[in-house]
Amino acid sequence: MPPGAFRQRPASRAPLIGCESGTLKRRFGMSIPRRARVLTALDTLLLGCLVQTLVVRAGEVPGTLTSTNRYSLHQQHDRDGIGKFYMGREIAGVMGHEAAPWLERLERPQQEHPDELVSDLRLRPGEVVADIGAGTGFYTRRLAQAVGPSGKVFAEDIQPEMVLMLINSMNRLGMTNVTPVLGTTTDPRLPSATLDLALMVDVYHEFDFPYEMVQAICRSLKPGGRLVFVEFRAEDPNVPIKPLHKMSEAQVKREMSVQPLDWVETLRTLPWQHVMVFKKRAG
């Protein structure tokens, strides 16, 4: 795929669940009743989302910008971002499920070396891991193989459509050690103190609530468990990805400095991404 193709990544589409950070119109892109007619199996889920959204947004006037101590909101911002900033970084829009084929493109293994990444993680059979923002499961299936039938992979995402695609793909492959999870933008809904490792590939920069998400992930890690960020290198202008969908090592470290994590190492063996490994502090 020519590098330019990455810049044509579809416009950010927000997920149906976890709609806290935008107006309903912007998030759904169509009127709610029509959307509700189109979807059938997901109706209950959507209704839950709608109720959650209304509860979360109560007290806010749609369309106005507010600031909190942790985040600031700006009218002027990058078109690939959501206008919300955390520690000087604008948060990128969520990649919509319509772009799922991009995650499964044939040239991806050549571009990202996913097998090398998973092998570098040195997972052991029987370990419990999470693929946060799993998308279609491109990395989930590799993790599932690495931990084997005695291990377990929680494959979590906030878009029900992505989770459905992942379930279908795991069923087709007969993978029985994967548990799909539908999370929210603040909570991946994973059991506490269970994970040996949580992996986020090309995901963290899209979190609407990065601080809250990492707090919740840390609660799910065992003491000494690893949290691994795989992000396109912002330091390298030759990596053909839009700026807001890249992250620098310094920025990730800055944002993790307020979390109960210690940086362990950064692997630079992949063509375009760096792999930043943090460990949950004991106690």
Least separation in angstroms between residue 182's CB and ligand SAM is 9
Q: Which of 203, 234, 256, 275 binds ligand SAM (CB under 6 A)?
A: 203
- Rounded to whole angstroms, how far apart are CA atoms 259 and 212? 10
| Contact residue for ligand SAM among 196, 202, 231, 255 (CB under 6 A) | 202
Q: Which is nearer to ligand SAM, 53 or 185 (CB)?
A: 185
* 93 binding ligand SAM? (CB under 6 A): no
Nearer to ligand SAM, 104 or 262 (CB): 104
86 binds ligand SAM per the rule CB under 6 A: no
Nearest partner of 6 among 88, 97, 80, judged by Cα: 80
Q: How many amino acids of this chain bind ligand SAM (CB under 6 A)? A: 24
Q: Which of 139, 229, 232, 272 binds ligand SAM (CB under 6 A)?
A: 139
Q: Is 155 exposed, middle or buried (0-12, 13-18, 19+ CB in 10 A)?
A: buried
Token couple for 75: 């009218």
Residue 15 makes contact with ligand SAM by CB under 6 A: yes
> How many helices (H) and strands (E) would you count in the chain?
10, 11
Q: What is the DSSP letter of 189?
A: -
Look up residue 17 and give its two tokens. 């669940």
Among 21, 53, 159, 169, binds ligand SAM (CB under 6 A): 159
Instruction: Decide whether 50 or 244 has the Cβ nearer to ligand SAM.
Output: 244
Residue pair 146/126 in contact by the 8 Å Cβ criterion: no
Tell me: does residue 169 bind ligand SAM (CB under 6 A). no
Q: Which is nearer to ligand SAM, 158 or 170 (CB)?
A: 158
Enumerate residues 6+ apart whose C-beta is below 8 A from 116: 269, 270
CB of 132 or CB of 197, closer to ligand SAM: 132
Contact code string over 204-233 relative to ligand SAM, x by CB under 6 A: --xxx----x--------------------
Span from 24-32, 57-65, 157-165, 254-262 in contact with ligand SAM (CB under 6 A): 157-165
Question: How far apart are the C-alpha atoms of 106 and 55, rounded to whole Å?
Answer: 42
Enter the tokens of residue 73.
């909101």
Phi, psi (5° rounding) for residue 57? -90, -5
- Does 185 bind ligand SAM (CB under 6 A)? Our answer is yes
- Nearest distance from C-beta of residue 39 to ligand SAM, angstroms: 17
Residue of 144, 158, 197, 227 interacting with ligand SAM (CB under 6 A): 158
Give the single-character DSSP code of 20.
Answer: T
26 and 14 in contact (C-beta within 8 Å)? yes
Of the CA atoms within 13 Å of residue 192, those in its CB half-sphere come to 3
Task: State the residues that interact with ligand SAM by CB under 6 A.
Answer: 15, 94-95, 103, 132-135, 138-139, 156-159, 162, 183, 185, 201-203, 206-208, 213
